[in-house]
Structure 1
Amino acid sequence: MATTTVAGRRKAQTLPGERSLVASPSTWFVWAGMAVFLVFLAGIIVAVVVDSFGKQWFEGWLPAAWSTSWYSSAWERFELGEVIGVTVGVALAVVVISVLVGVPASYLLARRSFPGKKAVTALFLLPILMPPITYGIPLATVMYAFGLGRTVVAVILVNLVPSIPFVILTMTPFIEQINPSIESAARMCGASIRQVFTRVLAPLLVPGILAAGILVLVRTVGMFELTFLVSGPGSDTLVVSIYRAMTSAGGGEARQLISAMAVMYTVTMLVILVVALRFVNPTQLVARVKDARED
């Protein structure tokens, strides 16, 4: 009897390194919350996609008839070819300028000490932490005063305000993790500052630059407030064009047209992410940071 009791106690104990198969109530609560969220999210996406293909709906579980005409109508009605071109062009321009300005600035913050450095760093945080509409209205006023309102140039400039600080704050810790002795060794070998930056640091910074660029790209494509304040016909991005379609003529546009535009916007974002992740692997990024730290 005593032997059976001891054996039962040993079975009840979890050996070191083994995980218990019995989940705690908090774990089940977290998984249940995630499941509910995913179900609601999937339901919204499915409803929009089905609505974009349906002739008449909400009289039953499925539309009475199916058609792809809403996509062609939306493409022609709102000139989405031009809108998508403007969206991609603005996003790429913002990424390139943000990287060209933000990476050298982040290098200075990571390698140099100067009076007011903390204040400058805090200043870069403001466009990211503050709601875009708070500084978007003054920016739009300046753009219209200089005659840049409703132009692509204005859309690019206003999107640079939060994007450049974002690149700086992303790249500064990345540069700080690179051992400065690498730069000192290159300078001892006769390399100039430009050569150190382009031939030594640049290869190490490529993963961080690509990661920051991807985040800026997605942020710019989805930025509504700043773009809406300064854009107009010929300079609207896709997200602003969807909003204008929803509010034009008192919301008189067909609901299916809006759903078709929303699906195309989602597909555009997915394509951008898939293409970006084709060149940037988050696992590689972590590995490169670790290698730079060890060097």
Structure 2
Amino acid sequence: MTTTIADPTTPDSTSTGTPPKRKGKLPPGQRPLVMQPSSWFVWFGIAVFFIFLLGILIGVVVDSFGTQWFDSWLPEEITLGWYNNAWNRFGLANVLIVTLIVAAVVVAVSVVIGVPAAYLLARRSFPFKAAVSALFLLPIMIPPITYGIPLATVMYNLGLGRSLVAVILVNLVPSVPFVIMTMTPFIEQINPSLESAARMCGATTKTIFTRILGPLLIPGILAAAVLVLVRTVGMFELTYLVSGPQSDTLVVAIYRAMTSSGGGEARQLVSSMAVLYTTMMMIILIIALRFVNPTQLVGRVSEMRED
């Protein structure tokens, strides 16, 4: 009978408490990454989408800089004439100024009205609160054209049609509820005990809102402002119904350019204006993202939940 003596220097799985490793299997954290067929399908769809998107963008940019061509892939000559023609013909200097004014005023008024209203919905209980919240959702959920025509009729009856004031007012209708619906859950994440402690120390409502809630709400306010800014600059239906020659925004001016010109010239004029529109939106977003970082916003919400 042969007796096997274990080597004391060799670690035993029973003494260390770790289960023996099975051949052919790796721990969960060390398993090789294998692409499933469904993952390949998803990545293929994303690649196709970006290829089509990039192709459209390149086509519009080339069309805005090139002379008219029909039998070749690229135009024979590059020119800035379409931009000069569109700038002078459609008064794009005034259009850009109007667009920036409308966007700035709508964002400022929406924040001033929407943040206190969101605070009331988040902190106060009153009769028909659910119905009021549902009413705020209506301008966001239903198509703008459904309430835009009656709203435009009211503006024209009041003598505000085709004016800058009318453009600002109609854009406030969906923007204010958008800020309210964005800020309400953000305010609900803030611990109400902070406000109670401040009130016990003698702080007024104004002091609580400016000294305590204000710094905590800045990320949410900036995020809501950026979303309203993008929505206002790109809002076509409501703006088109009440705007005029001196109050058109850029997106409405592009539509008027497309319908007022004829032939291939209209296509390249519209392409040049579309490049200007895209460039302006990219500049606005780059400047806005310098102040709003989505990761910081998520981190701030997580910190408030922990508190």
- Among 193, 196, 199, the alignment partner of 2:205 is 193
Q: Residue 230 in 1 paired to residue 242 in 2?
A: yes
Cα shift at 1:19: 4.8
Q: Take 2:174 and 2:233, find their aligned partners in 1: how far apart are those partners?
A: 13
The aligned residue for residue 129 of structure 2 is 117
Contact 2:68 2:264 in 1 (8 A): no
**Aligned letter for 1:98?**
S
Q: Work out the percentage of aligned pairs sharing the same amino acid.
A: 71
1:135 counterpart = 2:147: yes
TM-aligned CA distance change 1:60 to 1:252, over 3 Å: closer
Note if contact 1:245-1:253 (Cα within 8 Å) is conserved in structure 2: no
Residues 1:102 and 2:119 aligned together? no
2:276 equivalent to 1:273? no
Question: Which of the pair is proportionally richer in helix?
Answer: 1
Q: Which has the larger radius of gyration?
A: 2
Task: Give distance in 2, aligned partners of 1:92 and 1:73.
Answer: 28
Q: Structure 1 residue aligned with 2:254, among 230, 242, 247?
A: 242
2:218 corresponds to which of 184, 199, 206 = 206
Report the residue type matching 2:158 in the other structure. F
SS of the residue 1:279 aligns to: coil
What one-letter code is carried by the residue in structure 1 that aligns with 2:116?
Answer: P
1:182 aligns with 2:211: no
Contact conserved, 1:103 with 1:171, CA < 8 A, in 2? yes
CA gap of 1:194–1:27, structure 2 versus 1, over 3 A, is: same
- Secondary structure of the residue that 1:67 maps to in structure 2? coil
Q: Which residue is 2:29 aligned to?
A: 17
After superposition, give the CA deviation of every residue in 1:95-148 in whole Å (9 maximum; x if it has no partner): 000000000000000001111111111111110010000000000000000000
Q: Indicate how the Cα distance of structure 1 residues 11 and 283 shifts in structure 2: closer, same or farther if over 3 A, else same.
A: farther
TM-score, scaled to structure 1: 0.94
Contact 1:245 1:251 in 2 (8 A): no
Shift of 1:200: 0.6
Larger mean Cα displacement after TM superposition, 248-257 or 201-210: 248-257
Following TM superposition, the consecutive aligned residue runs of length 4 or more in structure 1 with deviations greater than 3 angstroms are: 9-12, 249-254
1:238 and 1:251 map into 2 onto residues whose CA distance is: 22
RMSD: 1.4
Deviations 1:233-287 (A, max 9, x none): 1100000000000001566843211110000000000000000001111111111
* Deviation, structure 1 residue 294: 2.0
1:284 matches 2:296: yes
- Matching of residues 31-110 of structure 1 within 5 Å: 31-110=43-122
